[in-house]
Amino acid sequence: MRTNSLMETRFGKSHYQIEGPESVPVIVLGHGLAANSTMWDRNIPELVSRYRVLRYDARGHGKSPSRGAACTVADLAVDVIELLDAAGIERVHFCGQSMGGLIGQYLAAEFPSRVCSVTLCNTMSRQMAPDVWQKRIDSVHQGDIDSIVEGTVARWLTSAFQAREIDFADCVRRMILETAPAGYIECASAVRDADQTRLLGAIRIPTLVLTGSEDEIATPHLAEQLHAAIPGSFLKIIPDAAHMPNIEQPGAFNRLLSEFVDSVERTREASFT
């Protein structure tokens, strides 16, 4: 096994990083709308001590440019498969937050041969209020990304965290502001139109549904519904966290993700003995 290494590169128009030892399980981290791969910075040091981690910027986010047109969740999932092909990776554990969780659902249902497990963080199978998303899209289209920053931060992070971690909350604001308006509009269309409820019963790979106790977007109630619809899935709620428990409670988040991935790996190894 080699020591930790970092490769930062681009496949086509997608920017991604791979870090961690070789010859260990690979975890892919998918971020939410208006975020980018830096949202996982608090999780990376611990995760790369045990896994090889690929994190990427979705189209129009971070260092990945917009493709110039509205897309679907299916399009975003195919982006991931193309990244895996480019990186020469056959199978991964996929962990996606919010929009990334929508992508994870699609991968689990439609590409099960490429995904060992999925962790669906702070997400749902369909939007409860697509008109709200259209208002946000219109706001960004008419103005700029800064028109949605404060409302987004208020939904993503608890007020206690914002007061306690002022500098880090400002980092989250800057991350949102770095999102290209065209990229936000492109991917927000996919989130607005998402309805994957019909796919959930077809998911047969190990699945962990995870959310924060204070998440007012992907609420614990919605997480319970997602869990109930996916056969054999597991549900965990992280206390004292809103829409980004990986940022607010990185220790708890890493522990739950690692315990789940490790349990899946033990089962896979046992099946070959």
DSSP 74-90: HHHHHHHHHHHHHHT--
Is 152 buried (19+), middle (13-18) or exposed (0-12) by CB count in 10 A?
buried
Per residue in 147-169, pLDDT tens? 899 999 999 999 999 999 999 99
User: Under a CB-based contact definition with an 8 Å cutoff, are residues 226 and 118 in contact?
Assistant: no
Answer for the pair 94, 183: CB distance below 8 angstroms, yes or no. Answer: no
CA distances to 18, 83, 86, 126, 169 from 13, in Å: 16, 10, 12, 27, 29
Q: What total of structural domains would you count in the chain?
A: 1
R_g over Cα of the chain? 17
Provide the token pair at 52: 């090889």
CATH of the domain at 236: 3.40.50.1820
Confidence of residue 5 (pLDDT cuts 50, 70, 90): low
The predicted pLDDT at position 189 comes to 94
pLDDT for residue 10 is more than 60: no
- The pLDDT score that the predictor gives to residue 2 is 37
The one-character DSSP state at 195 is: B
Has residue 3 got a pLDDT over 50? no
**pTM for this structure?**
0.94
Q: Are 29 and 40 in contact (CB under 8 A)?
A: yes
- pLDDT number for residue 127: 81
Tell whether the model's pLDDT for residue 97 goes beyond 60.
yes
Q: What is the Cα–Cα distance from 267 to 108, expressed in whole angstroms?
A: 18
Q: Do residues 256 and 244 lie in contact, with contact meaning Cβ atoms separated by under 8 Å?
A: no
For the chain, give the mean pLDDT. Answer: 92
**What pLDDT is stored for residue 1 in this prediction?**
32
Give residue-wise pLDDT tens across range 217-262: 999 999 999 999 999 999 999 999 999 999 999 999 999 999 999 9
CA 159 – CA 147 distance, rounded (Å): 20
Model confidence at 132, in pLDDT bands (50, 70, 90)? Answer: confident
pLDDT at 267: 87
Domain that holds residue 82: 5-271
DSSP alpha helix (H) spans, 111-193: 130-142, 149-156, 159-164, 166-177, 181-193
39 or 272, which is more confident? 39
The more confident residue out of 25 and 14 is: 25
Distance CA 127, CA 158 (A): 22
- In this model, does residue 272 exceed pLDDT 80? no
Encoded tokens for 245: 């428990």
Q: What is the pLDDT of residue 14?
A: 86
Give residue 141's pLDDT. 87
The mean pLDDT value for 81-109 works out to: 97
Contact predicate 240/160, CB 8 Å: yes
